[in-house]
């Protein structure tokens, strides 16, 4: 009897055969697949298992995954918790989100760093790259052959959380992936990975391509009023694939706020610091070396500049960035023989 089988026995002990089980997740591929695996493990052992998510799912690849694997998710807001007597969390811990709070948990299975967890059964393994890996080990150890759909979902969970094995992947994650491969419908995996763009996204990108402006190896696009900040991120990432572009700065207005997404190639100064210097006067701004974001209430920008028209905002984002970068160039960025970009060059270059 190996230790995983002992653990699974303990897990099963939490549920009588009459149990009505609700698995609550913050839905991403790893959480969705892990919840499906829990449902499979408890199949014919309890009276009912449902999966509920509290986050809004809008990414087309995640929607495709849910559709093609028959994951069967319900928004938590639509679920009457009184109809359930056992609650389970996978791929998260109660402290991660207030939606998890105030519920007694029968089981928590996760791979994030351990927080303050209380449940009848806990299996937290921070050494694992994904929660899908833990549940694949459960299935394997209990000799449950995953269906083609479940195996495909678990593969997507592993691929997503490890960024195709380039981030925090362990040998265990690789082994689990290899194990699932023989059961999975790989067409599902391919189809999910292809599902990146909606028609609206494509139109949005089309406009961005037409109206982009390049200043000193930086590409800018101001989208005006937007309904999905995700599209700004998509364009910002996409524009980094233009040869000779080191930065992309994409902006738009939603809910009376100017949102600016910054990306750079990582070879230069930090995006987070640039965002702070350029925009923190008017709102929140920050991020990492290669990725950053600023969100500024329009009334704050008005206070600072006196204006908030779309044309003005487009210009202002450029000027703020070019000022910051020009300062940086003077200090650190300048290569021999290269003169620093003049302040206000955004305007001059147009």
Q: Enumerate binding residues for Mn ion (CB under 5 A).
A: 30, 91, 131, 161
Q: Which is nearer to Mn ion, 135 or 317 (CB)?
A: 135
> Torsion over CA of 339, 342, 347 and 350, rounded to 10 degrees?
-10
DSSP letter assigned to residue 170 = -
Q: Which is nearer to Mn ion, 30 or 185 (CB)?
A: 30
**Least separation, in Å, of the C-beta of 91 and Mn ion?**
4
Q: Which is nearer to Mn ion, 138 or 221 (CB)?
A: 138
Q: Which is nearer to Mn ion, 161 or 315 (CB)?
A: 161
According to DSSP, the residues that pair with 74 across neighbouring strands are 52
Residues 6+ apart with CB under 8 A from 232: 223, 226, 250, 251, 252, 259, 261
Report which of 69, 115, 63 is spatially closest to residue 89, judged by C-alpha positions.
115
**Least separation, in Å, of the C-beta of 174 and Mn ion?**
16
**Least separation, in Å, of the C-beta of 133 and Mn ion?**
9
Q: Which is nearer to Mn ion, 85 or 91 (CB)?
A: 91
Q: Which is nearer to Mn ion, 40 or 257 (CB)?
A: 40
CA angle 167, 116, 52 (to 5 degrees): 70
Radius of gyration of the chain (CA): 24
According to DSSP, the residues that pair with 262 across neighbouring strands are 249, 292
Q: Which is nearer to Mn ion, 53 or 268 (CB)?
A: 53
**Beta strand pairing status for 48-53 and 20-25?**
parallel
**Least separation, in Å, of the C-beta of 250 and Mn ion?**
28
In Å, how far from its chain's centre is CA 67?
19
Burial of 195 (0-12, 13-18, 19+ CB in 10 A): middle
Question: How many angstroms separate the CA atoms of 177 and 158, rounded?
Answer: 7
**Least separation, in Å, of the C-beta of 20 and Mn ion?**
26
**Least separation, in Å, of the C-beta of 296 and Mn ion?**
32
**Least separation, in Å, of the C-beta of 31 and Mn ion?**
6
Report the residue closest to Mn ion, judged by CB.
30
């Amino acid at each position: 009897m190996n230790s995983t089988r002992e653990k699974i026995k303990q897990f099963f002990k939490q549920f009588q055969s009459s149990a009505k089980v609700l698995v609550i997740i913050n839905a991403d591929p790893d959480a969705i697949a892990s919840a499906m695996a829990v449902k499979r493990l408890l199949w014919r052992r309890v009276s009912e298992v449902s999966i509920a998510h509290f986050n809004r799912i809008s990414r087309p690849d995640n929607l495709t995954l849910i559709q093609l694997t028959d994951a069967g998710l319900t928004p938590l807001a639509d679920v009457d918790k009184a109809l359930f007597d056992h609650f389970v969390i996978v791929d998260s811990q109660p402290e991660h989100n207030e939606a998890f709070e105030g519920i007694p948990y029968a089981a928590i299975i996760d791979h994030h760093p351990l927080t303050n967890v209380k449940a009848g059964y806990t299996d937290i393994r921070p050494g694992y790259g994904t929660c899908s890996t833990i549940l694949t080990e459960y299935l394997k150890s209990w000799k449950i052959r995953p269906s083609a759909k479940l195996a495909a979902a678990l593969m997507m969970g592993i691929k997503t959380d490890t960024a195709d094995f380039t981030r925090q992947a362990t040998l265990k994650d690789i082994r689990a992936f290899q194990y699932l491969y023989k059961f999975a419908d790989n067409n599902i995996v391919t189809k999910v990975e292809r599902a990146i763009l909606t028609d609206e996204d494509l139109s949005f990108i089309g406009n961005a391509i037409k109206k982009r402006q390049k200043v000193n190896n930086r590409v800018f696009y101001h989208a005006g009023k937007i309904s999905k900040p995700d599209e700004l991120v998509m364009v910002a990432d996409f524009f980094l694939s233009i040869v000779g572009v080191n930065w992309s700065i994409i902006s738009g207005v939603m809910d009376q706020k100017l949102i600016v997404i910054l990306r750079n190639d990582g070879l230069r100064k930090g995006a987070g610091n640039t965002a702070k210097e350029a925009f923190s006067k008017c709102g929140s701004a920050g991020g990492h070396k290669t990725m950053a974001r600023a969100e500024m209430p329009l009334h704050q920008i008005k206070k600072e500049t006196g204006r908030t028209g779309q044309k003005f905002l487009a210009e202002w984002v450029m000027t703020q960035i070019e000022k910051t970068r020009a300062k940086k160039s003077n200090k650190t960025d300048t290569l021999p023989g290269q003169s620093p970009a003049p302040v206000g060059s955004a305007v001059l270059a147009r």
